[in-house]
């Protein structure tokens, strides 16, 4: 029994020794990291957003009167010129109204001529009565009666003049409505949408309500795309910034454009988590022509908001933060309390010097999709830790490291 007991103790000691040796060997070899040299690169800061393309100029054609469409003279996709006939809404009712008002206007003018003659006669009668009254042949009552007849004739004539004005205004309105049932193109362009056929009823349009637009005419010579950009990124965009637009319909081709409008009013949206997002509309005018363009095509845009030529740069993943108390040589700021200074986070990178990782604070500028511009804190050709992500997260200032090649990269 004693022999067996001692045998178990010896085995346990051997295992513990092996574990200790393995830990020390791994510690002595250092944490495996990949590095990349600080070098000069051309960096472009790009903001990506998605949207759809639309013509810069378009007109939604709606009816100004209710009625049946009796004729459609165009087809979807057809090019039309300004003033070209497009469609006709049944004009019978409006034409009848115009004829009726014209007849009423003629009657009012005839009545005006009659009341004018009556006014003239009443004036002559009044003049004659006044002369006879001065000679003493007529009484004052007869003079008053002649004056009253004249005043009535003047009022009747004035009323007929107002009737004429009223009928003329009604006729003008009726003729305008009659002309509106014959719809013509208000601009040169292509019929990009045709929502009505002969025999269907047209509804009066109001504020572009869905269902009231009969057709859409678009000028496809100038195309733009409208995208929504997050509030954290829109502040970097300026009018005139260059952009590259890629359409899903032409995935292998990009079209040059530029920012022509930046929205001032936010677009609020709520996510599933209940948090409210804030975006802004940005309009990009496409400079190049697009073959067989169709409004509404999906578009992905990349807006270049800043560029640096030959800038010192580091990989994005190299940038990390550490609390000041975790760094060697930590000295609290006299203006802060101990806890405030100790927990202050510093942005920087780890450089490799003599097989050890040394944390260096850095100042960065713009960023591309893969690199940060270095404004201060590093020199060219310094080796910064670039991987892996877990190593960068756990790395401590002064820790022993072992440089390895990235997977898939030949030495």
Say if residue 80 is exposed, middle or buried (CB neighbours under 10 Å; 0-12, 13-18, 19+): buried
Which CA distances in Å does 382 have to 145, 227, 235, 349, 373? 118, 40, 33, 11, 14
Residues 33, 28: Cα–Cα separation, whole Å:
14
- Tell me the pLDDT band of 63, cut-offs 50, 70 and 90: confident
- Tell me the pLDDT band of 334, cut-offs 50, 70 and 90: low
pLDDT at 268: 80
- Between helix 140-180 and helix 92-134 the angle, nearest 10°, is 160
User: What is the average pLDDT value for the chain, to the nearest integer?
Assistant: 86
> Degrees (nearest 5) of the Cα angle 196, 199, 204?
55
Which stretches does DSSP call E strand in 161-241? 182-184, 189-194, 201-202, 213-230
Mean pLDDT of 328-349: 68
- Strand, helix or coil for residue 144: helix
pLDDT at 133: 86
- Rounded to two decimals, what is the model's pTM? 0.65
Tens of pLDDT along 250-305?
888 999 999 999 999 988 876 565 567 789 999 999 998 888 888 889 999 999 99
pLDDT above 70 covers a percentage of the chain that reads: 84
Residues 43, 45: Cα–Cα separation, whole Å:
7
pLDDT at 163: 94
pLDDT at 132: 86
> Which 8-state DSSP code applies to residue 15?
H
Distance of alpha carbon 37 from the chain centroid = 41
Looking at per-residue pLDDT, the higher value among 133 and 115 belongs to 115
Tens of pLDDT along 238-262?
999 999 999 998 888 999 999 999 9
pLDDT above 90 covers a percentage of the chain that reads: 59
């Amino acid at each position: 029994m004693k022999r067996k007991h001692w045998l178990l103790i010896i085995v346990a000691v051997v295992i513990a020794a092996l574990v200790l040796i393995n830990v020390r060997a791994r510690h002595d070899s250092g944490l495996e990291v990949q590095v990349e040299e600080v070098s000069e690169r051309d960096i472009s800061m790009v903001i990506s957003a998605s949207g759809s393309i639309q013509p810069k100029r378009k007109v939604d054609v709606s009816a100004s009167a209710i009625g049946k469409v009796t004729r459609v003279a165009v087809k979807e996709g057809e090019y039309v010129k300004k003033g070209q006939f497009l469609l006709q809404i049944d004009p019978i009712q409006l034409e009848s109204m115009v004829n009726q008002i014209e007849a009423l206007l003629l009657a009012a003018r005839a009545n005006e001529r009659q009341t004018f003659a009556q006014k003239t006669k009443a004036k002559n009668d009044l003049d004659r009565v006044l002369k006879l009254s001065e000679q003493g042949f007529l009484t004052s009552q007869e003079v008053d009666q002649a004056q009253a007849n004249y005043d009535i004739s003047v009022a009747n004539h004035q009323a007929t003049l107002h009737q004429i004005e009223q009928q003329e205004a009604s006729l003008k309105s009726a003729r305008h409505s009659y002309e509106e049932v014959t719809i013509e193109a208000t601009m040169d362009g292509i019929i990009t949408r045709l929502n009505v056929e002969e025999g269907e009823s047209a509804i009066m349009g109001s504020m572009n309500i869905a269902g009231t637009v009969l057709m859409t005419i678009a000028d496809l010579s100038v195309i733009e795309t409208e995208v929504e950009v997050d509030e954290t990124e829109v502040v970097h965009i300026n009018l005139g910034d260059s952009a590259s637009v890629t359409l899903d319909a032409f995935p292998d081709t990009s079209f040059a454009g530029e920012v022509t409008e930046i929205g001032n009013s936010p677009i609020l949206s709520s996510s599933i988590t209940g948090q409210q997002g804030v975006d802004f509309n940005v309009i990009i005018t496409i400079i190049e022509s697009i073959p067989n363009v169709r409004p509404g095509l999906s578009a992905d845009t990349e807006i270049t908001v800043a560029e640096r030529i030959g800038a010192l740069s580091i990989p994005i993943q190299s940038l990390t933060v550490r609390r000041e108390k975790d760094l060697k040589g930590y000295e609290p700021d006299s203006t802060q309390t101990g806890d405030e200074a100790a927990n202050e986070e510093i942005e920087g990178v780890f450089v490799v010097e003599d097989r050890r990782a040394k944390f260096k604070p850095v100042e960065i500028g713009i960023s591309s999709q893969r690199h940060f511009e270095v404004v201060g804190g590093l020199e060219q050709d310094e080796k910064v830790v670039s991987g892996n992500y877990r190593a960068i997260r756990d790395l401590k200032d002064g820790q022993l490291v072992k440089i390895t090649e990235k997977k898939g990269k030949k030495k």
